[in-house]
Amino acid sequence: MNELETLRNEIDQIDSELLPLFLKRMECSKKVAEYKRKNNLPVLDKSREKQILDHKASMIPLDKASFVRDFFSEIMAISRKAQRQLLSDGNLENSLFEGFDQCSLKENPTVVFQGVAGANSETALMKIFGDDTKRINVMTFAETLDALQEGQADYAVLPFENSSTGSISGVFDLLENRELYIVSEMDVSISHCLVAPKSATLDSIREVYSHEQGYLQCKEFFKNYPKMKFSAYHNTALAAKYVAGLGDTSVAAIADKRTAKIYGLRVLAENISTTQNNVTRFVVIAKRGIVNENCNKISVLLTLQNESGALCQILSEFKNSGLNLVKIESRPRHDRNFEYMFFIDFEGNLLDDNVQTVISAIQENTTQLKILGNYHAVSYPSERL
C-alpha cells in the first residue's frame, strides 16, 4: 500500500466517525424545526448563526479559521434546508402566495394589447388565445395594464424580451409596483420587413418610422441605406398605419407582411432583421396569479440585503435545490440611487415542496421578494394553452 492509499484510508476512517455524528445532528435539527413550527419562529436566525461561526473560528489558529467557518456554514445550510422541507406542506397558505389561485386561464376572455391591428402583440395574442379572441387595444404599455386593473379586460399581452436586443425595460418597470401577475408566456418569431406606399421604391425612401426596438433589431440592414433617417414611433403597426395615411413615397415603416396587408402597403424588403432567428418573448398578465400542474416556470423580483455574499447566497439556494435558474437580470431601484433589484426566472411549480423550500430560503436573504408569476412557458407556436 502506497502513501496515498494509506492517507485515503485514514480519511475514510475519519468520515465513518463523522457520519453518525452528522446524522445525530440532523435528528436534533428536526426537533428544532418542530419547535419553530409550534412557536411560529423563522428557520433562519442570522445573529445566532454568526455568533456560532465566530465562536468556532476563534477556537483554532487563524490560518485555519476560514476552513472551519466554511465547514460549519455548509452544515448549517443543510440543516436549514431540511428544516424548511419539514415545515413545508405543499399548499399555498404562505403569505407570498396570497395572489394566486389554483386554476387555469379563463375561457373566451377579453384581452388588451398595446398598438393597433397588426401589432406584434396582437399576433402573440392570437397565437396564445386564438384568432377570434375578443380584444381591445390601447396606445401605451401603461394604458394596457391600466385597462386590465380597471376591469376592461381579463388579460393583457405585452412584449417582455427580444432575442437580439434583450429585455423590454419599460414592461419590467411597470410590473415592479403593480399587483399583477404573469400567467403565461410564448416565444413568437418576428419577421421584420420594410413597407411603404404602393409606388414607393428603396431609392425613394428617406424616412423610416418604427418602434425603437424594431429599428434596433434591423440596424445592420439600414447601414446599407445611409439616406434613410429613423424616426421613433409608438410601435411598428402604428408606424405602418401612419405611413399608409401619409401616402408619401419617401416614407416607410418597419412591420411584418400581415401588417402591410392590413394597411395596403407594399413590402420593399423582407426579413431585414439582423438576426434571422429573431424571437420576442410575450407574457400574459392578469390580476390574479395562476398555479396548476402544468405550470413549469416561475418569475420573481427581489431586492438583496446590502451585505457581502448576498447574491452568492441566493444563487447557492438554486444550486443546492437542483432547480434550474434560466435568467437573472439586475435593474436599478427607483426609490434608491445606485441600488439594484433582480429579476429571476427559474423552472418549477409553486405546488412543489422543493420550490416552496427554496422560495422560503430566498425570502430570508432578501429585503423584498415578489413572485411575479408561475406559468406554463410555451416555446412553440403549435402548442396551444
What digits encode the pLDDT tens for the residues 26-71? 999 989 988 988 888 888 887 888 899 888 888 888 888 889 888 9
The confidence score (pLDDT) of residue 379 equals 52
* Averaged pLDDT score across all residues of the chain: 89
Same fold, 12-87 and 95-189+279-378: no
Tens digit of pLDDT for each residue in 90-142? Answer: 555 566 678 899 899 999 999 999 999 999 999 999 999 999 999 999 999 99
Q: Helices 353-364 and 310-321 meet at what angle, rounded to 10? A: 170
Using DSSP bridges, classify how beta strands 155-162 and 279-286 pair: parallel, antiparallel or unpaired. antiparallel
pTM of the model: 0.78
* Average of per-residue pLDDT across 217-242: 95
Place of cell 420587413: 193
Q: In the CATH hierarchy, which fold is given to the domain comprising 95-189+279-378?
A: D-Maltodextrin-Binding Protein; domain 2 (3.40.190)
* Average of per-residue pLDDT across 83-91: 68
Given 165, 236, 259, 280, which residue is catalytic?
280
Concatenate the DSSP letters of all residues of 195-216 into one string: EE-TT--GGG--EEEE-HHHHH
88: pLDDT confidence band, cut at 50, 70 and 90? low
Distance in angstroms (rounded) separating the CA atoms of residues 171 and 160 = 7
Tens digit of pLDDT for each residue in 172-210? Answer: 888 888 999 999 999 999 899 999 999 999 999 999 999
Tens digit of pLDDT for each residue in 294-347? Answer: 999 999 999 887 777 788 888 988 988 889 999 999 888 777 776 788 999 999
The confidence score (pLDDT) of residue 95 equals 63
Residue 380 has pLDDT above 60, yes or no: no
Of all residues in the chain, what percent carry a pLDDT higher than 90? 58
The confidence score (pLDDT) of residue 60 equals 86
Worst-scoring range by mean pLDDT, 108-117, 127-136, 270-279, 375-384?
375-384
Answer yes or no: are the C-beta atoms of 276 and 349 closer than 8 Å.
no
Report CA-CA distances (Å) from 186 to 123, 168, 183, 294, 341: 11, 15, 11, 14, 25
Given 282, 318, 343, 346, which residue is catalytic?
282
378: pLDDT confidence band, cut at 50, 70 and 90? low
Q: Domains of the chain: which residue ranges? A: 12-87, 95-189+279-378, 193-269
The confidence score (pLDDT) of residue 94 equals 62
236 an active-site residue? no
* Average of per-residue pLDDT across 234-252: 95
Answer yes or no: are the C-beta atoms of 291 and 374 closer than 8 Å.
yes
Worst-scoring range by mean pLDDT, 4-8, 140-144, 276-280?
276-280
C-alpha cell at 211: 418602434
Distance in angstroms (rounded) separating the CA atoms of residues 43 and 81 = 9
Answer yes or no: are the C-beta atoms of 119 and 237 closer than 8 Å.
yes
The confidence score (pLDDT) of residue 89 equals 56
The confidence score (pLDDT) of residue 307 equals 73
User: Where does 12-87 sit in CATH, by number?
Assistant: 1.20.59.10
Q: Helices 310-321 and 62-87 meet at what angle, rounded to 10? A: 60
282 an active-site residue? yes
Please give the residue that has the higher pLDDT: either 267 or 89.
Answer: 267
Residue 159 CB partners (closer than 8 Å, separation 6+) = 120, 121, 124, 168, 171, 213, 280, 281, 282
Q: In the CATH hierarchy, which fold is given to the domain comprising 193-269?
A: D-Maltodextrin-Binding Protein; domain 2 (3.40.190)
383: pLDDT confidence band, cut at 50, 70 and 90? very low
Tens digit of pLDDT for each residue in 72-81? Answer: 888 888 888 7
